[in-house]
Amino acid sequence: MTRWLVTGAAGQLGSDLQRLLAGADVTAIDLPELDLTDGAAVADFVRNWAAGGSAAGGSGPGHLLVVVNAAAWTNVDGAEEHEDTAHRVNAEVPGYLAAAGATAGATMIHISTDYVFAGDATVPYEVDAPVAPRSAYGRTKAAGERAVLDPATGSGAPAYVVRTAWVYGETGTNFVKTMVRLERERETVSVVDDQQGSPTWSRHLAAGLIELAGSNAPAGIYHCTGGGHTTWYGLAQAIFEELGADPARVLPTTTAAFPRPAPRPAYSVLSDAAWRAAGLPPMPLWRDALREAFALPGDPWRPAGWTR
């Protein structure tokens, strides 16, 4: 039996992990249950959870323990102004969790990002490609990767860093939900067509992480994104198609036309070669995933009262 500790439980990935792990022994935490920036509090919490004192009830020793860190400072532009705060959340917190998890003998899975790369490649980034972040957000996430892969203590339990990109989910705000809203509010929408990446449905990402936890994959770095790639413009057109709207209402534009405090990667496509080599199933193609997401019962993407 596997016991799970999921941080960032209120976010889109944390929420989908809970959906897919329904019925399992899961302790899901977010603010205000635990201040993850308090290293001593994190150590105490993980020790108590590992010993069987979790909020979900414990099963005692002899079970596989898995910590999934889905908590992060994801305000890319805000990190430029508040890098110290972003560093605490994106770099120090993963280190606290990794050290506490290693002491408890727990497998650690930490979520990272395409922003650790420069974003100027022309072929998909492999897991061992040079890390060269161009933004404060990317720098703090790169530091978090180092903290997880080199914790202060070790027990032999594997530690994984899983980089992903362009994530959208039913919970919270994201690009997909923004495009759904703008389709109702505007006759046309201008979207950048010079940034490439792989849209990733958080439900499929969560399923991939669960597969990883139960595998014999070597510890280290992996990439897990939707299959294939497109631009934000291409994704927006696909969203309009799913809404039954005319995709010609989406107009291409450039990154230069929308200056932001933090530079955006022009190329964020991540290779899944290491993922597949570890025997893990490849992610569905991003377009198929979007179609599947929009077919969910209850239609969670459209606002209440949405009609065409």
pLDDT value of residue 52: 86
pLDDT value of residue 201: 98
Q: CB under 8 Å to 169, separation ≥6 — which residues?
A: 11, 12, 13, 15, 16, 201, 202, 203
How many whole angstroms separate alpha carbon 282 and alpha carbon 284? 7
pLDDT value of residue 226: 98
Instruction: Indicate the pLDDT class of residue 305, thresholds 50, 70 and 90.
Output: low
pLDDT value of residue 57: 40
Mean pLDDT of 150-159: 69
pLDDT value of residue 307: 61
CA distances from 75 to 7, 46, 97, 186, 242 (A): 18, 27, 21, 25, 27
Q: What is the CA 12 to chain-centroid distance, rounded?
A: 8
Which listed residue (96, 137, 160, 168) is catalytic?
137
Q: Could you tell me the end-to-end alpha-carbon distance of the chain, in angstroms, rounded to an integer?
A: 47
pLDDT value of residue 124: 98
Residue 182: what residue type? L
Instruction: Indicate the pLDDT class of residue 54, thresholds 50, 70 and 90.
Output: very low
Cβ-based neighbour number of residue 107 at 10 Å: 21
Per the listing, tokens 């899975």 go with: 109
pLDDT digits (tens, 9 = 90+) for 293-303: 999 988 888 87
**Tokens (6 digits) for 192:** 């950048």
Least confident of 10-24, 144-158, 267-281: 144-158
> Is 168 marked active-site?
no
Least confident of 57-61, 161-165, 229-233: 57-61
Q: Are the beta carbons of 247 and 190 closer than 8 angstroms?
A: no
Residue 181 has pLDDT above 50, yes or no: yes
pLDDT digits (tens, 9 = 90+) for 73-113: 999 999 999 999 999 999 999 999 999 999 999 999 999 99
Q: Write down all domains in the chain, each with its CATH number in brackets.
A: 2-174+199-227+269-285 (3.40.50.720)
